[in-house]
Amino acid sequence: MATISDVAKLAGLSVSTVSRVINDSPYVSPKKRALVKGAMDQLGYVPLPAARQLRGSSSKSLAVVVPRIVNPFFSYLIDSIERTLINADFNTIIVQTFGNKDQELGALELLKKQQVDGVILCSIENQWSVIKEYLKYGKIVLANEYLKDLPIPMIYANQYTGLKSGTEYLLKQGFRRIAYATGRKKLSIAPLGSDFDSDRFHGFQDALQEAELSFNSNWLFYNAHTEEDGNEILMEILHMTDKPDAIIAGSDEVAAGIVEAARNNEVSVPSQLGVLGIDDQPMSSKLNIPLSTIRQPVNEMGVKAAQLMIAELNGNIERNTKPLDLEVISRNSA
């Protein structure tokens, strides 16, 4: 990260002259002002708040970016991240994107303005080509999400094996016509290991193929995040001529919505429709029909993400982290 001294050196001027330019002093010649501005642009330098410049210290604050804090998975992820950061004397700023690219950029702008020392992204809304420009201003760590061959720390669960195991579990229960719900607005099948959603879908498809079953594209549901989305999915299934006999929901929230709507419409779970969630949120075992689900190691993921960020800030680079394991939890919905 560039400092005011780096700017002074590149411009060939004193630190005090650079400081006067930053503070918009009138006692600087246009030529020197242009040299300083050019050096700042070249280095990607953004002035720190004055008090921090004098101290030469960091903000001791980190931003944690999630889609929706009301989603229990992300609530528990934030909890484990923040508890770990508190123990290291860091403050946490929580930013919700609501799936909006501009909200994510707003969090990254905190990094550019050096109001935070780093950003932990628990979801990705923008293309990496956009996000990577902010690495010149501070540290970025991915938690829960991942993209192939990124030069930053990433901590995530093995979604491919988790979803493959979950699909195999449904097949062992006798289900053969399995639907699939995703939170994405569209699903592009990238090569295995490329990203979160494509790896999930690869695991699902490979399990079907090994059982010599094909997937009906009419049973693919997009943009599913909430219980209300789960309600709507069940209603869509009811209006189908060719119905699935089970569904893997994108989360326990969506699965709970499907189970609720099934009960309200006299659809028996699991005899008429098996439902498998993802996450194993605390409420999953407490529903009228306890959810079968795929447990994600949310606490371990949060702790490790925070530790990776602290290590990065201390100059201890740790890039080759091993993916965490998921576990199928058998209950009553499938």
Residue 200 pLDDT > 80, yes or no?
A: yes
Residue 24 pLDDT > 80, yes or no?
A: no
pLDDT digits (tens, 9 = 90+) for 266-290: 999 999 999 999 999 988 999 999 9
pLDDT digits (tens, 9 = 90+) for 124-160: 999 999 999 999 889 999 999 888 878 899 999 999 9
CA–CA gap between residue 42 and residue 27 (Å, rounded) = 23
CA–CA gap between residue 64 and residue 146 (Å, rounded) = 15
Contacts of residue 321, defined as CB under 8 A and 6 or more positions apart, other chains included, come to 153, 154, 155, 304, 308
**Residue in the structure block whose two tokens are 């700017």:** 7
Q: For 259-263, what is the mean pLDDT?
A: 96
pLDDT digits (tens, 9 = 90+) for 201-239: 999 999 999 999 989 999 999 999 999 999 999 999 999
pLDDT at res. 19: 83
Task: Say if residues 266 and 238 touch (Cβ distance below 8 Å).
Answer: no
Contacts of residue 272, defined as CB under 8 A and 6 or more positions apart, other chains included, come to 245, 262
CB neighbourhood size of 132 (10 A): 14
Contacts of residue 132, defined as CB under 8 A and 6 or more positions apart, other chains included, come to none
pLDDT at res. 48: 60
Q: For 22-51, what is the mean pLDDT?
A: 81
**Residue in the structure block whose two tokens are 């604050």:** 61
Residue 89 pLDDT > 70, yes or no?
A: yes
Q: For 105-110, what is the mean pLDDT?
A: 93
Question: In Å, what is the CA distance from 294 to each residue of 181, 303, 313?
Answer: 14, 20, 33
CA–CA gap between residue 269 and residue 246 (Å, rounded) = 9
Residue 302 pLDDT > 90, yes or no?
A: yes
Residue 42 pLDDT > 70, yes or no?
A: yes
Q: Which of 71, 51, 300 is nearest to 94 (CA)?
A: 71
- How high does pLDDT run on average in the chain? 90
Residue 261 pLDDT > 90, yes or no?
A: yes
pLDDT at res. 291: 97
pLDDT at res. 27: 82
pLDDT at res. 50: 44
Task: Say if residues 179 and 220 touch (Cβ distance below 8 Å).
Answer: yes
